[in-house]
Amino acid sequence: MGKLALTEPQVKRITRQIEAHGFADGAQVGDFVSIHWSWVCEVLDASALRLLMANMRRYLALANQTL
């Protein structure tokens, strides 16, 4: 049976702001960001990215126990 897994990071065009309004106005091309409903929510620094990846791996492992 299949298991859930992360893919390699992908480069995507995502909405950062409309008419000078957004959640992460300082985001730049090449930044790692959190995204919700195709909107950039925040720029992730190295610490936040490591924490996000560690938690994602942990929750994927838990989810895969039920598949």
Q: For 3-66, give the DSSP string.
A: ------------B-EETTEES-TT--TT--EEEETTEEEEE--HHHHHHHHHHHHHHHHHHHTT
Residue 12 pLDDT greater than 90, yes or no: no
Give the whole-angstrom CA distance, residue 16 versus residue 22: 6
Rounded to whole angstroms, how far apart are CA atoms 23 and 39?
8
Claim: this prediction has a pTM higher than 0.85: no
More confident residue, 21 or 54: 54
pLDDT tens readout for residues 23-63: 788 888 888 988 888 888 899 999 999 999 999 999 999 99
Q: What is the pLDDT of residue 1?
A: 67
Q: Is the pLDDT of residue 10 over 90?
A: no
